[in-house]
Amino acid sequence: MALLKQQVADLDVWEYGARLTSYLQKQGRSIGSQEDLRSLSAKVALPSDITALDDELLEWTKTRRLHGHVAIDSHPVTKEQYGFRVTAFSAERFKKLGPDEIWLFYVSPEVTLERIATASGGRPAITIEEARIHSAAQASVACTFAIAVGCPVYMFDTDVPQEELVGILASRLNSESQA
């Protein structure tokens, strides 16, 4: 998102993982970084924490939208010891965000495994089937939200050069602001 922000001057980004990490630290949880959050996940982030942070997100979005584009970097599907957990907005709360469109970033399961092996960032090792399920669950959440609010979903394959992807995303935002 940092590269995108460089190309789209009026873009404000809510990085959910960073915000959740900060929120949990303020609550006194034993978490030092986003890497800790990824590795501990449901052990430190409760559904009530997600709801409280979502309230902050709704307020932030309402204010920031007055000044330009808003991007919410969120991953409602998390890999847990027991399988997966989805901590997503309710349809009613998601409507309050009022998105114009939803972007979903994906790669093949093989690329996911390669990226985790190269730089886990606290993400647990997963199987190819788990990578497939995770990606499909993220897409399901995105499509469900889009249906609930009546906006399109754009799915971007991130297994392309980063500059190319950022150019495509910036073009989408810039064309929207001229429409």
Specify the CATH number for the domain of residue 36.
3.40.50.300
Is 178 among the domain residues? no
Tell me the average pLDDT across 59-71. 93
Whether 99 is covered by a domain: the verdict is yes
**What CA–CA distance (Å, rounded) separates 79 from 85?**
7
Over the chain, what is the mean pLDDT? 92
- The number of folded domains in the chain is 1
Q: Cβ of 176: how many Cβ atoms within 10 Å?
A: 11
User: Facing residues of 79 across strands?
Assistant: 84
pTM of the model: 0.89
C-alpha 84/C-alpha 137 separation (Å) is 9
The CA distance from 133 to 158, in Å, is: 17
150 in a domain, yes or no? yes
Structural domain of 56: 2-173
- For 79, the token pair is 């890999």
- DSSP secondary structure string, 124-174? PP--HHHHHHHHHHHHHHHHHHHHHHT--EEEEE--S-HHHHHHHHHHHHH
Query: Is residue 179 assigned to a domain?
Result: no
Q: How confident is the model at residue 176 (pLDDT cuts 50, 70, 90)?
A: low
- Taking alpha carbons only, the member of 7, 27, 41 closest to residue 163 is 7
Q: pLDDT-derived band of residue 177, with 50, 70 and 90 as boundaries?
A: low
Evaluate whether residue 76 is within a structural domain.
Answer: yes
Please determine, for residue 70, whether its predicted confidence score (pLDDT) is greater than 90: yes
The set of residues, in sequence order, having a beta carbon less than 8 Å from that of 85 and lying 6+ positions away, is 41, 42, 77, 78
